[in-house]
A and B are shown apart, each in its own frame.
Chain A
Amino acid sequence: MTAPVVAVWLGNAAPVRSIRWLDGVLKAAAKFPGATAVAAGEQDWLDLAADRAARLGLASVGVPTDLQLDYLGWAQVMAAVARQLGATTVLVDEASRPERFAEVAAIAELTDAAQLTRVIALAPDAAIIHASRAAGTTLQTVRVHGPAVIGVRIAGPPIEEYPTPAPSASMRRIELATLGLDPVVLGHRALPPRITPPARRTVERVADHIALHIAPRTARKAGKPGKRAKDAKDAKDTKDAPDPEDED
């Protein structure tokens, strides 16, 4: 078995808050000789991605496009680039943008590779990759053999300010058509344009937002079903009951 050929998917837009995670995944990729950083999207982002990759000695590929795609759309782009590069292993920066983690599975599906999410440490060992993965309250130690897509959450060093990147000459541009992708077809995975909502400023709105994160708890009450279970049963009974209007 030969050493993996690695590509790093940096995504379609700049990190939401910090480039620390971007630097982290690039640094992890730099452990693999010949790794290539890949980004897609608009020019400013491609320049930033190329700049950060170049600082760590990585080659970079950019796919210029103004499409706004869902997880499967971007996965198609990255899978096509991986095939073009002959990459067997794809690292994905999971932490810079919350929507990116879903692309790990989608790229793996499209490249028929194994998948591993939430990896916090990586070490190449000839044809094998050793990885540590956060899984709930446990840390899994995993050995990866063969083609795989790995979602990475490794932080780079703290960074407050970074220079505005100049347009990169070193980044290799690949058009969608060169990848065999038709923008019109790809557009079927387009997301509707969305305005970034302003930060919530009232207790009620913040509570609404974080209510989706309340850890579910189990309350064991002896003897009878809990309220939630009864609610569910009532809902089911309502569905199963004949519609009064049908009785006529």
Chain B
Amino acid sequence: MAAVLVHIDLDDERPHPSSLQALAAGRTIASSWGATLYAALIAQAPARSPGPWSGAAMQRMPGNRKTIEAIRITLVRGGADKIVVALIDGPVVPLWSALGTAWQGVLDHLRPRLVLFGADAPSAIELGPRTGARIGARLVLRARPMQPSNASGTAGTADLELRDRDGSYIRMTDGGAAVCLIGAAPGPGAGAGPGPRSRPRIDVPDVPGAHGDDDIDVMMLELPGGGDPRIELAGTAPAELAHLTGTMIAIGDAAAGDPEIVQATARLAKALGAHVVGSAAAAATGVVGTGAIVERGAALTPELCIAIGAPSIDVAGSASLIRIGTAGGKGVDGALTGSVAENLVELAHALEAR
């Protein structure tokens, strides 16, 4: 039986929400393909020494049994058939140089057909493409499970596929392995209609502590060997907003002067979980928070930027760019002209309904 493997990042003592989103996608795909779903995480063995990376921000395998059981139950309820924990000597830092050897051990052990990462999980950017390169796999970025359409454009009855925003897809009938960064969890309609109906809210149950109600074993892989000494982590500090790479809303000064637009922008930011950035002038309206003021001409590289009006910030480095209130232009993925406030409200409403 083919294996679908989901990499699980830990966020403090819980699986990262983006990893759980990938697990939910993995569950629907594995069920559709008749595959076994593995959830694998890398953790530092509690009793071992921190090794040469002791200065780094470390993430330990949560030491007490109650926390371990909570993670196990979360993954079981997320749909995992089997759970693999790779124990390493050093701390868990989201870099290939720190985790690559252990992750290779997991890949060697399971030889998966499909490997999924949460697109917003901390390790995904470093581990995802390298995993693909190592196993010679196709790579699809920011995808979601969908029911393929048939020739008439309606929902077909074939197995689910993973499809990204540019139309690349991974299907069960494809030859070879594939790696996919999941950008949205499957909604209730993932198997029922042609369009995505995703609302990637991951409800993690509180676990009272004792034991789970599912009998799923945890496979522990002891993978000794440290990180790659060629990359030495000297320290960490909080990043400035300008260096974040998630989703950003950049608002122009004129747009920030309209209270309706300001209110709608805040609503859209909440629906997306995005930061709003703008100039000092825009900040005076309150839509841009303290620390989110970006100097004129500064260049950002977010995964997605929604530019409202004419921001003074350079958003050309965005992986995806949506403009609201101005016509498109070179390399723009979407543009909504007309009333800015109305478009923002409609957009927020459409996202909230997902």
- Please report A residues at the B interface, Cβ cutoff 8 Å: 15-18, 20-21, 70-72, 75, 94-96, 98-99, 101-106, 108-110, 113-118, 120, 134-148, 153, 155, 158, 194, 197, 199-233, 235-236, 238-239
Contacts and interface: CB of A to CB of B under 8 A. Distances in A.
A194 B205 contact: no
A115 to B, nearest CB: 5
Given A217-B17, A235-B28, A106 B331 contact: no
B44 interface: no
Sorted nearest first, the 7 A-B pairs with minimum C-beta distance are A226-B203, A215-B273, A232-B79, A212-B183, A18-B316, A155-B299, A105-B129
A206 B79 contact: no
B228 to A, nearest CB: 5
B77 A229 contact: yes
A60 B149 CA distance: 46
A216 B185 contact: yes
Given A108-B130, A213-B247, A229 B203 contact: yes
Given A138-B57, A206-B322, A231-B24, A75 B206 contact: no
A71 to B, nearest CB: 6
Contact of B94 (A104, A135, A146): A135
Interface string B209-242: 0000000000000000000111111111111100
B183 A213 contact: yes
Given A95-B301, A117-B125, A201 B184 contact: no
B237 A141 contact: yes
B238 A209 contact: no
Given A141-B236, A221-B205, A95 B317 contact: yes
28 contacts: A16-B316, A98-B320, A104-B129, A106-B133, A109-B134, A116-B231, A117-B126, A118-B245, A138-B236, A140-B235, A199-B333, A200-B322, A201-B336, A213-B183, A214-B272, A214-B273, A216-B118, A217-B201, A218-B17, A218-B202, A219-B203, A221-B203, A226-B202, A229-B203, A231-B24, A232-B28, A235-B28, A239-B30
Contacts of B125: 101, 117-118
Contacts of B183: 212-213
B159 interface: no
Interface of B: 14, 17-18, 20-21, 23-24, 27-28, 30-31, 34, 37, 57, 74, 77-79, 81, 94-97, 118-120, 122, 125-126, 128-130, 132-134, 136, 138-139, 141-144, 164-167, 183-185, 188, 195-196, 198-206, 228-240, 243-247, 271-274, 297, 299, 301, 303-304, 306, 314, 316-317, 319-322, 328, 330-337, 343, 346-347, 350-351, 354
Nearest to A201: B335
A215 B270 CA distance: 10
Contact of A143 (B95, B234, B321): B234
Contacts of B347: 203, 206-207, 210
Nearest to B81: A236
A220 B79 CA distance: 18
Contacts of B126: 105, 115, 117
Contacts of B272: 210, 213-215
Contact of B336 (A206, A214, A239): A206
Contact of B142 (A194, A203, A212, A223): A212
A107 to B, nearest CB: 8
Contacts of A213: 142, 183, 246-247, 272, 274, 303-304, 320
Nearest to A147: B230
Contact of A146 (B165, B230, B303, B336): B230
Given A114-B230, A214-B184, A215-B246, 18 more contacts: A15-B316, A18-B316, A96-B317, A102-B132, A103-B129, A105-B129, A134-B244, A138-B237, A138-B238, A139-B237, A147-B230, A210-B304, A212-B119, A213-B303, A214-B199, A216-B120, A229-B79, A229-B203
A184 to B, nearest CB: 18
Contact of B239 (A139, A204, A205, A232): A139
A211 B348 CA distance: 11
A11 B101 CA distance: 28
Contact of B188 (A203, A219, A231): A231
Contacts of B78: 228-229, 232
Contacts of B79: 229, 232-233, 235-236
| Residue from A101, A146, A235 having most chain B Cβ neighbours under 10 A | A235
